[in-house]
Chain A
């Protein structure tokens, strides 16, 4: 109980004092998570629309692969990215390991299947006759995507939030490919791990509260915007 109270006090002191360490880590967490989830959403959703509507060989396997990707252990993603970007890896020469770019790539690899797979699942719920209506009017791919987006406008924000949630809370892959370098690649989750390791439970808990606050704020903003659009 003492730790909880002291961590809340610590949290307030860090936030009110605009602690540079906290601000830096929180800022990196926010923009990396937003960027990777936005890219995953921007690529995954249209691709999901396309896959759900297109007929091509092995479609079933492609969908199964994407669904598997939705449940991919982040540590495995981190390991693969680390191997690819390590010195002896295919992209070793680019020197990306332990950089923000590596974190971004691994986060996209985690969030992209989620955005794509959830879109495919959502499209499956659109009534078949609605899709046929579009085809009967001669709707092309872009028009179809437009109408599907309109139809799924309350589902799409949920997909975006799921993508954001999957990367903002991620620690294994980020630790592995980012290296948790202070001032470079340390984000809130890896910072929490570091602080726990050195016994600073109050600071770790304070960071956790900030992480929760960020997640809540992003969710609230997205829900408010979509709620306003609905009304």
Chain B
């Protein structure tokens, strides 16, 4: 602690790390990244974007980088090059694919406290507490070979919690975990976080997982942090098409600006060449607001929350301020906790997801193949310029 400012859990400056993976060379460049005590951040990005490598660097498990990585106000390594001893008991890492050692659940969970030199009574207490948190107290004596994959994940998570870390680093903790075990892990995480006020970083390539755990999104692409802001910001104001593609769940439509007056642009969006049966002369016009010039290539992002669905007869659809009205066909739908995501295809290869309530879903009798009309406001469309 310095003065009245809370200690920074993680502080990365001018990090540059070159590494090889599967015989391919990668470069990780992070000019700045900070995580306050008690704060949670989700590092998201596609496979190979450098998320796990950054996590391992923060955990003090990688060396050979330039720049500085500080944990709790000090460097990860001593002057002699060894990893700082106190880090073992202050941070815990949970790696993906649930690696467990042979033995019982209890033995696996006890690993951390045992290795960090906790007294026997404390080890037992921590193990019991961690297993209770993840809801596996009854399986303490079970052989890890006899538990399910989801339970193995929970054991791994309990193993990390048993250290009682101040900084929790989770690498794809919910990857391929069934919904029940996923909920248990998220609940345990939230309980621990609120009880211990620990800082945490979760690495994931699943936007929904990240949203469930963290309000801050750190989007990585090709070894760089391309956006570090709240999830809301990433959804509403993505800095690039990559961020929108990864964080957003809305439609990404590509086109060329044909006209732009008073900030209202009209964009010509053809069917993507890859789309089956795409006719060359088929396209849609979308109106959006932005400062672009005719001829510029743009990416349009339309969030599902902004898309309304109308069912026929369309001639009677009332006039509204929504400048975009497109005919389409319902292709699929999927149920979420509070609503239904309906995918409406306007052109081959161009679909607009629309997030509607379950009540609307029932009253409109939405089903695949239904011809509908969708509408959204020009002001709700995010326009991003594409580099030529």
Contact = CB atoms under 8 A, between A and B. Distances in A.
Given A150-B101, A151-B101, A151-B102, A134 B115 contact: yes
A136 B85 contact: no
A139 interface: yes
B95 A129 contact: yes
A129 B116 contact: no
A54 B95 CA distance: 21
Given A127-B99, A138-B87, A132 B93 contact: yes
B56 interface: yes
Contact of B97 (A127, A136, A153): A127
B115 A137 contact: yes
Interface in B93-151: 93, 95-97, 99-103, 111-112, 115-116
Contacts of B102: 150-151, 153
Contacts of B88: 136-138
B163 A137 contact: yes
Contacts of B87: 138
Given A129-B95, A134-B115, A136-B88, A147 B101 contact: yes
Contact of A137 (B97, B103, B111): B111
A72 B91 CA distance: 47
Interface string B70-104: 00000000000001010111011101110111110
A228 to B, nearest CB: 15
A11 to B, nearest CB: 42
A133 interface: yes
A130 B83 CA distance: 18
Given A138-B88, A150-B102, A132 B115 contact: no
Interface in A84-126: none
B115 A138 contact: yes
A68 interface: no
B275 interface: no
Secondary structure type dominating chain A contacts: helix
B43 interface: no
B204 to A, nearest CB: 16
Given A129-B96, A132-B56, A138 B101 contact: no
B29 interface: no
Interface string B275-319: 000000000000000000000000000000000000000000000
Nearest to B107: A150
B161 to A, nearest CB: 13
Contact of A132 (B92, B95, B100): B95
24 contacts: A127-B99, A130-B99, A132-B93, A132-B95, A133-B95, A133-B111, A135-B61, A135-B83, A136-B59, A136-B61, A136-B91, A136-B93, A137-B88, A137-B112, A137-B116, A138-B85, A138-B87, A139-B115, A143-B115, A147-B101, A150-B103, A151-B101, A151-B102, A153-B102
Q: Which 8 A-B pairs have the closest CB atoms?
A: A138-B88, A129-B95, A130-B99, A137-B115, A136-B93, A129-B99, A127-B99, A139-B115
Interface of A: 127, 129-130, 132-139, 143, 147, 150-151, 153
